[in-house]
Amino acid sequence: MLLSVLIPFYNEEHQVPATLGTVREVMEGIGLPFELVCLDDGSSDATWARLREAAAADPRIRGIRFSRNFGKEAAICAALDAARGDACVLMDGDLQHPPSVIPEMVRLWRDEGYEVIDGVKRSRGRESLSSRLNASLFYKTFRRLTGYDLHNASDFKLLDRKVVDRWRGFREHDTFFRGLSAWLGFRRAEVPFEVAERRTGTSKWSPLKLLRLSVAAITSFSSVPLHAITILGTLLILGSVALGIQTLVNWAGGQAADGFTTVILLLLLIGGAIMVSLGLIGVYIARIFDEVKGRPRYVVAEETDGGDT
């Protein structure tokens, strides 16, 4: 029996030794053979050098380096592809997902037969007001549109080999790990955890990256926005029929108002609605385009265990 711990790192040179040390200690405490699969997501600092040193000193540590920054979702895919364990624990590289929770996850998996153990945030830790508001807006929209409540969900999870193999069968290019793992089902348990403070560096998510992830998440799980366009269009048509009848009646009665204001307002409103709707359709078409191209999700530049690709 082998446990894999999968950790993505992006520009975390100061964090790598601390994270690997802590995780290794916790894993040794469990007493099962394990491997640490560390993914360098195209860092521009010394993260890869730190990972190579760690891998050279301990054969249980494996490093994989992307050819550039492909983002955390791609890093998760690559780590799940590379893992050899019978269970895979996925966690952040900044120790914000406390490794002390791993033994409980492993116990639920090994003794109680759960196949997916979700780490659930007890609170969101210390965060700025704006990121709290953005997260809350995103999760509310996501739940409304898709029916999945991922409110306190995190990427801190244990997955059984069966689940990992199913996941790897997905051909979807733009993944949303949290959502897809909820979609997969299987016997699930939850383990609450307290989000720890980040000790070195800063969050690697720029507002733009977060926006892209949110759009990818919603468009991959829901086509409601497209139907919303149809509904909006129908409402506009109903409104214009009513307005048309009124206008004709007024005209027949010989009291057609010189309604320049109305015309301008209607033009702006309808023009805006059409532009937004076209843009939205464009987002979905772009997604189809990306998926159809069928490019690999990531490109590996090198691996510490020899597998240069």
Residues at the contact surface with ligand UDP, assessed by CB under 6 A: 8-10, 12, 41, 69, 71-72, 75, 92-94, 96, 203-205
- Residue 52, binding choice from Mg ion, ligand UDP, none, Cβ under 5 to 8 Å by partner class: none
Contact call for residues 300 and 66 (beta carbons, < 8 A): yes
Q: Near Mg ion by CB under 5 A, which window of 17-25, 94-102, 115-123, 183-191? A: 94-102
Q: Does 94 bind Mg ion (CB under 5 A)?
A: yes
For strand 87-90 and strand 300-303, is the pairing parallel, antiparallel, or unpaired? unpaired
Q: How far is the CB of 48 from ligand UDP (least distance, A)?
A: 13
Residue 10 or 66: which CB sits closer to Mg ion? 10
Residue 43 or 96: which CB sits closer to Mg ion? 96
Q: Near Mg ion by CB under 5 A, which window of 24-32, 79-87, 96-104, 110-118? A: 96-104
Task: Extract the tokens encoding 138.
Answer: 């995103």
Nearest residue to 81 (alpha-carbon basis) of 306, 296, 304: 296
Task: Extract the tokens encoding 139.
Answer: 């999760």
Contact call for residues 61 and 20 (beta carbons, < 8 A): yes
94, amino acid identity: D
Contact call for residues 58 and 35 (beta carbons, < 8 A): no
Residue 73 or 115: which CB sits closer to ligand UDP? 73
Residue 203 or 240: which CB sits closer to ligand UDP? 203
Q: How far is the CB of 93 from Mg ion (least distance, A)?
A: 8
174: left (phi over 0), alpha (psi -120 to 50) or beta: beta
3-class DSSP state for residue 124? coil
- Residue 41, binding choice from Mg ion, ligand UDP, none, Cβ under 5 to 8 Å by partner class: ligand UDP
Residue 21 or 113: which CB sits closer to Mg ion? 21
Q: CA Rg, the chain, in Å?
A: 25
Interface residue with Mg ion among 4, 43, 96, 304 (CB under 5 A) is 96
- Residue 40, binding choice from ligand UDP, Mg ion, none, Cβ under 5 to 8 Å by partner class: none
| DSSP letter assigned to residue 89 | E
Residue with tokens 């016997």: 187
Residue 108 or 157: which CB sits closer to ligand UDP? 157
Count CB-CB contacts under 10 A for residue 44: 11
Q: How far is the CB of 120 from ligand UDP (least distance, A)?
A: 15
Q: How far is the CB of 136 from Mg ion (least distance, A)?
A: 18
Residue with tokens 């830790």: 125
Residues paired with 66 in a beta bridge: 300
Q: How far is the CB of 92 from Mg ion (least distance, A)?
A: 5
Contact residues for Mg ion, defined by CB under 5 A: 94, 96
